[in-house]
């Protein structure tokens, strides 16, 4: 594939659809006059039944690395918080999995095509460390997972210097205080409110004969400055079958406001929920088990925000189409999480074999992004956007589909992340992270709060 400069990359396309009923599962949602046609041109969003009115997609920037090494997998993992994006490239040099993480900052005039403002690397970066396999960011602190480092994995901490981000090595290392030479700590990361939860899918614990995995919790010190530390808590799940274990997928754990959720691989895949109480992580085992009707393969990605948990099932085939994929949402039924099945199933309006919808997911509680990086004739990829109806989540197909120009084998949607109105989409074969203005896909803020009348707003 010919690598193009950011200025030459065609902007993604957005197609808005009228959600349709799903076979064997009823769906209703507010509708009004302005609906989308099937017309689709690069960089353009078409509205209306047979209308020719179009509005450009708010495509903000293409972020690329100065190294730009073929096969480095830049864009396989992404994270955003406010005005800062971090992108992982776990195998920076093909065949040598030592990796880097790249930092990008929005300028005073907004996002624009750019290369990194900083390249983050550990002080020791051996072959097969997989530094950059997972990334997370909160404020001025970036966390990077290296599951192959130090024998059992390391989470590297980078705190923004007073003069701003610059090429640097870590300011702290988070490691396991328990366990042996395995573990793979940092295969997946999630941070919120000074708490970071890191998965170690190869961790042995108790009397297990198999590496069933564990979650390691690290709390920011009272000083507000991260220092070298071991875990504050270890969370383990109740394993009921010989094949049960934590999923080693790169987005296999999510955390928000005292709730951690992780995927369990087994004969019947499930999610497990852990809760921090006023006394801390006093319950080391899960407080709830979330399952999906039909028990599809849930080995993709998980996201949480507030009362909403979203999980991708990339190999699911709800329409009888192999690996078309699906996304499942769970809404907390009351003040606490409890054992339950999904609240709603989200699917593609036009599914195809091998789309692997749900390979990546992200949510802010009202909007769900789901990557389908192998959709299209040539693995061009796409990101499907689902918006919460005013009455709550229901079975539905996408509200918008974002996709790149066809024929480029972009794998657009390998990774997705959200922070406020800005979304980041990774495309590791393009070695690019795209920044989109999610609000630019809407007519007004009112639609975000469930005002369906905005569908019929006049397009400038």
Average confidence (pLDDT) per 10 residues, the chain, 460 residues: 50 56 32 23 27 46 87 88 94 70 94 94 84 96 94 94 96 85 85 95 65 89 96 86 72 94 83 92 89 73 96 84 91 94 94 91 96 90 93 93 82 93 90 84 33 24
394 backbone dihedrals φ, ψ, rounded to 5°: -140, 165
pLDDT in the model for residue 457: 22
Exposure string of 337-370, with b = 16+ CB inside 10 Å and e = fewer, is beeeebbbbbbbbebbebbbbbbbbbbbbebbbb
**Which residues make beta-bridge pairs with 304?**
309
In whole angstroms, give the CA distance from residue 114 to residue 241: 49
Angle ∠(402,408,413) on CA atoms, nearest 5? 40
Residues whose CB is less than 8 angstroms from the CB of residue 400 and which lie 6 or more positions away in sequence, other chains included: 14, 15, 16, 17, 45, 384, 385, 441
Tell me the CA distances in angstroms from 64 to 50, 117, 168, 409, one per residue in order: 38, 11, 18, 17
In whole angstroms, give the CA distance from residue 86 to residue 435: 12
In whole angstroms, give the CA distance from residue 297 to residue 260: 20
- The structure tokens listed for 311 are 């999980």
- The structure tokens listed for 333 are 């039924």
pLDDT in the model for residue 37: 21
Render 340-366 in DSSP notation, one character per residue.
EE-SEEEE-SS--TT--BTSEEEE-SS
Tell me the CA distances in angstroms from 294 to 320, 341, 345, one per residue in order: 13, 10, 12
pLDDT in the model for residue 340: 95
pLDDT in the model for residue 38: 23
All structural domains of the chain: 59-443 (2.130.10.130)
Exposure string of 47-84, with b = 16+ CB inside 10 Å and e = fewer, is bbeeeeeebebbbbbbbbbebeeeebbbbbbbbbbeeb
Angle ∠(438,439,442) on CA atoms, nearest 5? 105
């Amino acid at each position: 594939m010919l690598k193009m400069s950011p200025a030459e990359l065609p902007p993604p396309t957005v197609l808005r659809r009228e959600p349709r009923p799903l076979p064997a599962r009823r769906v209703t949602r507010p509708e009004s006059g302005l609906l989308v046609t099937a017309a689709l041109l690069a960089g353009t969003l078409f509205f209306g039944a047979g209308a020719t009115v179009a509005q450009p997609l708010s495509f903000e920037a293409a972020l690329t690395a100065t190294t730009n090494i073929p096969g480095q997998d830049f864009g396989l993992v992404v994270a955003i918080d406010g005005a800062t994006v971090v992108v992982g490239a776990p195998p920076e040099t093909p065949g040598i999995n030592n990796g880097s993480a790249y930092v990008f900052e929005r300028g005073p005039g907004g996002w624009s095509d750019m290369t990194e403002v900083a390249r983050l690397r550990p002080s020791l970066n051996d072959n097969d460390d997989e530094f950059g396999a997972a990334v997370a960011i909160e404020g001025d602190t970036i966390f990077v997972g290296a599951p192959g480092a130090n024998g059992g994995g390391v989470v590297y901490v980078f705190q923004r210097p007073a003069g701003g981000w610059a090429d640097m090595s870590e300011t702290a290392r988070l490691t396991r205080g328990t366990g042996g030479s395995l573990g793979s700590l940092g295969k997946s990361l999630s941070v919120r409110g000074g708490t970071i939860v890191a998965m170690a899918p190869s961790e042995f614990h108790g009397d297990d004969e198999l590496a069933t995995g564990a979650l390691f919790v690290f709390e920011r010190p009272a000083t507000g400055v991260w220092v070298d530390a071991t875990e504050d808590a270890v969370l383990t799940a109740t394993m009921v079958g010989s094949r049960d274990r934590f999923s080693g997928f790169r987005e296999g754990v999510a955390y928000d406001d005292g709730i951690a959720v992780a995927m369990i691989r087994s004969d019947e895949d499930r999610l497990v929920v852990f809760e921090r109480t006023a006394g801390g992580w006093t319950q080391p085992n899960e407080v709830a088990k979330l399952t999906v009707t039909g028990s599809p393969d849930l080995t993709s990605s998980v996201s949480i925000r507030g009362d909403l948990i979203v999980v991708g099932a990339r190999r699911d085939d709800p329409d009888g189409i192999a690996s078309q994929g699906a996304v499942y949402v769970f809404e907390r039924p009351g003040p606490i999480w409890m054992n339950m099945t999904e609240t709603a199933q989200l699917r593609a309006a036009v599914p195809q074999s091998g789309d692997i919808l749900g390979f990546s997911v992200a949510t802010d509680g009202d909007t769900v992004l789901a990557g389908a990086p192998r959709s299209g004739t040539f693995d061009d990829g796409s990101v499907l956007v689902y918006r919460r109806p005013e009455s709550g989540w229901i079975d539905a197909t996408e509200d918008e589909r974002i996709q790149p120009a066809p024929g480029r084998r972009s794998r657009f949607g390998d990774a997705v992340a959200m922070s406020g109105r800005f979304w980041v989409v990774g495309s590791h074969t393009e070695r690019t992270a795209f920044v989109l203005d999610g609000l630019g896909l809407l007519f007004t803020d009112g639609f975000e709060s469930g005002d369906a009348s905005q569908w019929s707003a006049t397009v400038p």
